[in-house]
Amino acid sequence: MKTGKIEITAHNHNFAVDPDSLKQSEVDLTHIDLNDNTLEGLRHRSLPLFSVQYHPEAAPGPHDSHYLFKDFVSMMEEWKK
């Protein structure tokens, strides 16, 4: 949601996090499914954690989720300080 970009992803939605069950003061919602409004990503505001519940499709490329890994490494480096 932060970048405004849309990703084509695959899902196995047998379970989903209810956004209303989260304290909005503690987390940012980062990814929402445009088809069914399922919460697909969140980031904690004070702890070094985030999650996504999807995986990128094979097209347009296998590197679509690299930004998540870069964010993870950056977050760990920052937390280590």
Tell me if the bond preceding 48 is cis, omega within 30° of 0: no
Q: With bands split at pLDDT 50, 70 and 90, how would you rate the model's confidence at 1?
A: confident
Mean pLDDT of 37-48: 92
Query: What's the whole-model pTM score?
Result: 0.79
pLDDT band of 56, cuts 50, 70, 90: low
Percent of the chain with pLDDT strictly greater than 70: 88
Q: How far apart are CA 34 and CA 32, in angstroms?
A: 6
pLDDT of residue 23: 94
Rg (CA), the chain: 13
Question: What is the separation of C-alpha 13 from the centre of its chain, rounded to a whole number of angstroms?
Answer: 15
Give CA–CA dist 75/34, Å, rounded.
27
Average pLDDT over residues 48-54: 89
Q: Are 76 and 68 in contact (CB under 8 A)?
A: no
What percentage of the chain exceeds 90 in pLDDT? 38
